[in-house]
Amino acid sequence: MNKEILRLSIPIIISNISIPLLGMVDTALMGRLENEYYIGAVALGSLIFNFVYWGFGFLRMGTTGLTAQAYGRNDPKEIIAILARGLLVAAAGSLVLIALQSVISWFGFSLIPGEESVKSLAEQYFFIRIYAAPATLALYVFYGWFLGMQNAKYPMFLTVLVNLVNIGFNVFFVSFLGMKSDGVALGTVCAQYTGLGLAVILFVSKYRHHVKDYESKIVLKLESVKLFFSVNRDIFIRTICLVFTFAFFTAASSAMEPLILAANQILLQYVSLMAYGVDGFAFAAESLVGRFTGEKNRAALKSAVQKLFIWGCGMGAGFAILYALFKKKLIVVFTDLEPVIETASVYVWWLVVIPVFGAVAYMWDGIYIGATATKPMRNMMLISTLIVFLPVTLLFVRFLGNHGLWLALTLFMIARGTTLTLLSRKHIFQRI
């Protein structure tokens, strides 16, 4: 079982770590311009896309769990039907996003406090990056489908290529063409379409034989469509809560002052790095738990969950130790602006606390998604967001300032992990 976990998780860890690497390069590029406004512009622009794209994250997660269960049942017709359904939803969703881009921009930026000069730059970023929507959403589906097919190498190839190409374009546009935050947005658009082209090539090279199993009546079968949208609805609500939490965190940072916003943006890069590292095992959990649920193999399911937690939580603890050892050195990677360095140094020790509790929450997310036990996962996320994170933020930021904001984020992680642990016997192990 350990070999199977590592076979799936190592490629995902490699690919996932390249995702925050992109954010780190963007932050470093902006952090070496003439002031902190450009860091803030990319942070606020990315905040809108966190809502927009992370909201569609169900296209990857739901596709993985459903495909893995169809793979475990050895149901080839449903396997290709799930891919087709996902791509149809991705196409429709991207067209809606592009058509409503002005409304999304106006609504999003009107809700975010901050200096007008920063928001103006962020809006330029938004109106360029929005045209990556068709490629971005289609890639979500391909990522999830490949992983559900127990293939972690193809998502790794795609993710690493997209992010390396993105980094290359961003450095070229910013450092060589003299563009600023708009160059970062344009680089993202170019990279996403490059990745989509590779996804199609990979599918054709290995999985084209599945096309013969395609039947439009199965794609539109009412029972399967209802399950598809039920699972994805719950994941959508869960993801919106997660995005809202980090968006509220960024917005609250912006409401304090530009230095706090810039400092928190740097520290969040390391939270993301830890999350993407642990998510390597969480994604493996989606694939394996989905497969064993489809096979109705309870013994294998229990063994997989136990070993996945050892690996995932061990990695979370490793990140905590790493952050404890380097602390201030982590900050200077991103900026040479002394006021930003000094501000971030005050709060850097929160990076030692969050990985310990965050790892538990991330692992349970992967397990619940693989089992398609999405309703309890959704409900516990709502509780963690609305009953824990928001009240703690509103109460403690008033007295503790930015420390109160980081406390709220930590308690949010603890609440997610605790509640999902308590419900796991009923919703994961007793379902088979």
- DSSP string covering 321-378, please? HHHHHHTHHHHTTT---HHHHHHHHHHTTHHHHHHHHHHHHHHHHHHHHHTT-HHHHH
- Amino acid letter at 246? F
pLDDT score for 327: 78
CA atoms within 13 A on the CB side of 69: 22
pLDDT score for 120: 73
Integer Cα distance of 382 and 412 in angstroms: 10
Q: Mean of the pLDDT values across residues 25-53?
A: 67
- Residue 183 near residue 174, CB atoms below 8 Å: yes
Integer Cα distance of 407 and 427 in angstroms: 30
Integer Cα distance of 327 and 240 in angstroms: 31
Candidates 327, 385, 330; CA nearest to 361 is: 385
Give the three-class secondary structure for 31.
helix
Residue 367's pLDDT band (cuts 50, 70, 90) = very high
Contacts of 73 (CB under 8 A, 6+ apart): 294, 295
Q: Which two tokens stand for residue 248?
A: 């509220």
Residue 375's pLDDT band (cuts 50, 70, 90) = very high
CA atoms within 13 A on the CB side of 287: 27
Residue 114's pLDDT band (cuts 50, 70, 90) = low
Q: Mean of the pLDDT values across residues 373-385?
A: 95
State yes or no: pLDDT of 108 exceeds 80: no
> What percent of the chain has pLDDT above 90?
36
Q: Which two tokens stand for residue 170?
A: 């961003």
Q: What is the pLDDT of residues 308-357, one digit of tens each?
A: 999 999 999 999 999 988 877 888 877 778 888 888 888 888 999 999 89
Residue 28's pLDDT band (cuts 50, 70, 90) = low
Candidates 272, 280, 57; CA nearest to 156 is: 280
- Residue 182 near residue 203, CB atoms below 8 Å: no
DSSP readout, 382-427? HHIIIIIIHHHHHHHHHHHTHHHHHHHHHHHHHHHHHHHHHHHIII
Give the three-class secondary structure for 33.
coil
pLDDT score for 48: 77
pLDDT score for 25: 67
130 to 36, 124, 186, 284: CA distances (angstroms): 24, 10, 10, 30
Integer Cα distance of 413 and 378 in angstroms: 14
Integer Cα distance of 198 and 162 in angstroms: 9
**Mean pLDDT over all residues of the chain?**
85
pLDDT score for 214: 78
Residue with tokens 């007008």: 116
Q: Which two tokens stand for residue 24?
A: 């780190």
Integer Cα distance of 261 and 67 in angstroms: 40
Q: Which of 237-241, 374-378, 391-395 has the lowest mean pLDDT?
A: 237-241
- Residue 314 near residue 360, CB atoms below 8 Å: no
- Residue 385 near residue 241, CB atoms below 8 Å: yes
Contacts of 51 (CB under 8 A, 6+ apart): 108, 240, 243, 244, 247
Domain range holding 330? 2-429
Q: Mean of the pLDDT values across residues 162-172?
A: 86
Q: What is the pLDDT of residues 52-103, one digit of tens each?
A: 777 787 888 889 988 998 888 888 898 999 999 999 999 999 999 999 988 9
**103 phi and psi, to 5 degrees?**
-65, -45
- Amino acid letter at 304? A
- Residue 343 near residue 263, CB atoms below 8 Å: yes
For CA atoms 302, 306, 308, 312, give the dihedral sign: positive
Q: What is the DSSP letter of 75?
A: -
**Domain tally, the chain:** 1
17 to 24, 32, 142, 274: CA distances (angstroms): 11, 23, 19, 8
State yes or no: pLDDT of 23 exceeds 70: no
Residue 22's pLDDT band (cuts 50, 70, 90) = low
> What percent of the chain has pLDDT above 70?
91
Q: Mean of the pLDDT values across residues 370-375?
A: 91
Check residues 32 and 368 and name the one with the higher pLDDT. 368
Candidates 138, 134, 131, 198; CA nearest to 163 is: 198
State yes or no: pLDDT of 41 exceeds 80: no
State yes or no: pLDDT of 35 exceeds 70: no
Q: Mean of the pLDDT values across residues 233-248?
A: 88
15 to 9, 155, 432: CA distances (angstroms): 10, 7, 32
User: Counting Cβ atoms within 10 Å, is residue 30 exposed (0-12), middle (13-18) or buried (19+)?
Assistant: buried
Q: Mean of the pLDDT values across residues 206-213?
A: 88
pLDDT score for 115: 67
Integer Cα distance of 88 and 70 in angstroms: 19
Q: What is the DSSP letter of 176?
A: I
Q: What is the pLDDT of residues 265-319, one digit of tens each?
A: 888 888 988 888 898 899 899 999 999 988 888 889 999 999 999 999 999 999 9
